[in-house]
């Protein structure tokens, strides 16, 4: 078995030789996509073994995420073709100045180099990540979950075959062969080899990367997102937004976990909320949302009494914390203390209150009168996404191709000295 | 004594309340500058105690760096006034899109929040860093060296008095009172309190931050910078550039440490180099540069035989590694392996060779026919500098005001759901 260190060496060599034009990169991406379709049978066989092995440890939702079909393989290939069609971020001149001494200083967008991605069991992350990295001029080192290893390996083999078919160094896309914790640790500490590490997965994985990484690492994804219903809110709009933010897909990071209701409207609004999220859903045979209420809210509607932890938990489920406040300032303060700074929303018809909320809320995405579920590369018009950063350095919010690049200064002179 | 944790709590509260306009920030900066001048005597007395205490442990260069005078205090105050005159980066709209569903998505430049700076003994770093942080809307937590503590404390007291005089929360500028290693460690691990940590100092400090920091940290400064003399170089220009890059100020990170000479010109060039850097300097009573030569170069001129370490050392002194190569590619490869990716230069009249060198050299600043000494915020036209980043995430090269900011997405809707 090739070791993780050997893969890192390969990746570093590939980076030093990487010098493809935009056209060559796109040709390589189309070749990757074609090769994935051509190798569909091999990929499906490998995937069947993964699914077979996982059947006893995983629930049906997880099994579904892991399972590939012909249709999903075509989807993966088309995903790569979509990436090829995006504009190339590399080479863009971000700024040029000519200094009084005649030096021309250009700030140019360049690839990061080697991007490592640690992810979990969805096989399509393999092809997505490889495509985004290649389009942005980077060498990728992929480290998927153990459960999906055979699938990921078959996909990467197909990708590398495609690259070779158009004369591109296949080592620009690499899959770590070791799926034990050791290989993750090796990537986190690969100083001099990994230019950016992106963990995509649960809070535990992300915490481990942030805590242990010696290479630059992007903190992604954990979302305790809030919707604040202001005293000047359109209450019908508020209930629609909360229903969408909580129930459209509760397992994702941009779903709402806590709502904050101004007490001036609580008496009117909370019964509307309960009717929509609890009673209506129950009547329709859907999972009702469990409301975890603060004391004031419990004086108005029925629900579970909220414990302290309920305002600091990413439920990822049909559970919603409900907090009431006496003022906009108290809402902002609560969000400052309890948000993961991913996506937070105000529902209000007062422009002043919206402006204050926007100015004082320090989150990657701050919404006025719209669902937090829109925090997504596709929805933001980036065309793709490599994850959602909840940190402030380098990238914040959905990461597209530009967020996979850095810049360098190129200075042209004719003998200038200082 | 106020503890580091108490200072971090204060800084966090100050951040949550920070909401000054551009005019208010500039007014605060002018008040800081005036107050430093007004408190000159207090600052000089405190500084005298620092200098007295340091006299036995420091060499004269270090003592000179530490010592303040009336003139230097006016210089510090004027430095703050210069920062006030720079354009405000905060609030700038970096991008706006209106999506087909009517959502307006704006990418807005915002402060990072709390910026912590760990630095060593130069007192003016205290006022510079506080000013740059405030101008970019950030709360600063400064942690200076033990040797300069009394000076830094007097400067920060004057700054805070100035802030109060114009009604600005004085806790936007803070000095850590503990100068033991523990306080540095507390800053490195202050997750939830420090949004960006900038170490400014020697390689040991920077390494400690990169290794131990759990908060986002910018790697700054270490520079093993190269000048490559191509076979098509103007050799007079090459010797001028190298003389400047090596000897104008050898103790700084953008000074050249290694030159690489194409063998096609080595026989002609190396004697020119020795004449200028060794013989001429000796004749003028200046410190001659010690040349550490590879074997091929030793066949042409006299000098020390280079050991392996000489191509991986930041000398910060009158020492220069000299390596010869048979091709441009070999030069690029050497730089890829041995550079700290700070500043690297090609001297050549061949446009093709320059273009290849620029494309394949992965450094923060890549020079064509100019001295590496220009890598500096002032020289780049940024107006100021908080350090030079040698990492690729977030900031690369000289860090000005924009590099002390992040962005957030502000999304306005009218009830959109997904």
Q: What is the pLDDT of residues B9-56, one digit of tens each?
A: 999 999 988 989 999 999 999 999 999 999 999 999 999 999 999 988
Residue B388 lies in a domain: no
Q: Tell me, what CATH number does A368's domain have?
A: 3.40.309.10
Q: What is the nearest CA distance from A96 to chain B, expressed in angstroms? A: 10
Low-confidence ranges of chain A (pLDDT < 70): none
Q: What is the pLDDT of residues B254-311, one digit of tens each?
A: 999 999 999 999 999 999 999 999 999 999 999 999 999 999 999 999 999 999 899 9
Find, among A215, A158, A154, the residue nearest to A188 by Cα: A215
Q: Tell me, what CATH number does B162's domain have?
A: 3.40.605.10
Q: Which residues are CB-neighbours of A341 under 8 A, at least 6 positions away?
A: A362, A363, A364, A390
CB contact under 8 A, B418 and A371: yes
Clarify whether residues B239 and B204 are in a common domain. Answer: no
Clarify whether residues B158 and B229 are in a common domain. Answer: no
Clarify whether residues A201 and A244 are in a common domain. Answer: no
Clarify whether residues B205 and B257 are in a common domain. Answer: no
Distance, in Å, from the CA atom of B7 to the CA atom of B171, rounded to the nearest integer, reads 9
Global pTM reads 0.91
Q: Which residues are CB-neighbours of B100 under 8 A, at least 6 positions away?
A: none
Residue A381 lies in a domain: no
Residue B230 lies in a domain: yes
Helix (H, G, I), strand (E, B) or coil at A100: coil
Clarify whether residues A214 and A345 are in a common domain. Answer: no
Interface test with B, best of A227, A374, A398 (most B CBs within 10 A): A374
Q: What is the pLDDT of residues B303-345, one digit of tens each?
A: 999 998 999 999 999 999 999 999 999 999 999 999 999 999 9
Clarify whether residues B270 and B205 are in a common domain. Answer: no
Residue A418 lies in a domain: no
Neighbours of A329 (CB within 10 A): 11
What is the extent of the structural domain holding B172?
4-218+399-412
Find, among A334, A336, A359, A358, the residue nearest to A347 by Cα: A358
ipTM above 0.90, yes or no: yes
Q: What is the nearest CA distance from B154 to chain A, expressed in angstroms? A: 32
8 A C-beta contact, residue B377 and residue B400: yes
Clarify whether residues A254 and A273 are in a common domain. Answer: yes
CB contact under 8 A, B216 and A391: yes
Q: Which of A369, A373, A393 sits opposite B414 (nearest CB)?
A: A369
Q: Which of A336, A358, A417 sits opposite B241 (nearest CB)?
A: A417
Residue A147 lies in a domain: yes
CB contact under 8 A, A369 and B210: no
Clarify whether residues B127 and B258 are in a common domain. Answer: no
Clarify whether residues B234 and B214 are in a common domain. Answer: no
The per-residue pLDDT for B59 is: 82
Clarify whether residues A64 and A181 are in a common domain. Answer: yes
Residue B361 lies in a domain: yes
Q: Which string of DSSP letters, residue by residue, matches B309-335?
A: GGGS----SSEEEEEEESSHHHHHHHH
CA B57 to chain centre: 26
Residue B382 lies in a domain: no
Residue B260 lies in a domain: yes
- Count of domains observed in chain B: 2
Clarify whether residues A211 and A286 are in a common domain. Answer: no
Clarify whether residues B279 and B191 are in a common domain. Answer: no
Mean of pLDDT values over B143-167:
96
Q: What is the pLDDT of residues A51-66, one digit of tens each?
A: 999 988 888 878 888 9
């Amino acid at each position: 078995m090739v070791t993780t260190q050997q893969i890192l060496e390969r990746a570093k060599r590939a980076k030093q030789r990487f010098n493809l034009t935009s056209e060559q990169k796109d040709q390589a991406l189309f070749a990757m996509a074609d090769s994935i379709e051509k190798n569909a049978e091999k990929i499906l066989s490998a995937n069947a073994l993964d699914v077979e092995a996982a059947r006893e440890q995983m629930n049906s939702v997880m099994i579904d995420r892991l399972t590939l079909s012909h249709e999903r393989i075509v989807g993966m290939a088309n995903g790569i073709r979509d990436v090829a069609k995006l504009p190339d971020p590399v080479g863009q001149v971000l700024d040029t100045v000519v200094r009084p001494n005649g030096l021309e200083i250009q700030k140019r967008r360049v690839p990061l180099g080697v991007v490592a991605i640690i992810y979990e069991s969805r096989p399509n992350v393999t092809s997505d990540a490889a495509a985004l990295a290649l389009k942005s001029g980077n060498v990728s080192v992929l480290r998927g979950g153990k459960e999906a290893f055979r699938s990921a390996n078959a996909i990467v083999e197909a990708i590398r075959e495609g690259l070779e078919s158009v004369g591109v160094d296949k080592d620009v896309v690499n899959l770590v062969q070791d799926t034990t914790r050791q290989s993750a640790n090796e990537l986190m500490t690969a100083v001099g080899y990994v230019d950016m590490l992106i963990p995509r997965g649960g809070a535990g994985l992300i915490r481990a990367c942030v805590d242990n990484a010696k290479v630059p690492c992007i903190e992604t994804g954990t979302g305790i997102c809030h919707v604040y219903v202001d005293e000047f809110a359109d209450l019908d709009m508020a209930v629609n937004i909360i229903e969408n933010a909580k129930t459209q897909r509760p397992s994702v990071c941009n779903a709402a976990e806590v709502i904050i209701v101004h007490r001036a409207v609580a008496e009117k609004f909370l019964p509307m909320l309960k009717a929509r999220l609890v009673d209506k859903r129950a009547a329709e045979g859907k999972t009702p949302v469990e409301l975890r209420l603060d004391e004031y809210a419990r004086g108005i509607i029925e629900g579970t009494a909220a414990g302290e932890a309920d305002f600091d938990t990413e439920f990822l489920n049909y559970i919603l914390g409900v907090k009431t406040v006496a003022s906009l300032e108290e809402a902002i303060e609560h969000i400052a203390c309890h948000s993961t700074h991913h996506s937070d929303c105000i529902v209000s018809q007062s422009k002043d209150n919206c402006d204050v909320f926007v100015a004082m809320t320090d989150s990657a995405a701050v919404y006025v009168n719209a669902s937090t579920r829109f925090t997504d590369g596709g929805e933001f018009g980036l065309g793709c996404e490599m994850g959602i950063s909840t940190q402030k350095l380098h990238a914040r919010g959905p990461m597209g191709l530009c967020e996979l690049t850095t810049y360098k200064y190129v200075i042209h002179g004719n003998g200038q000295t200082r």
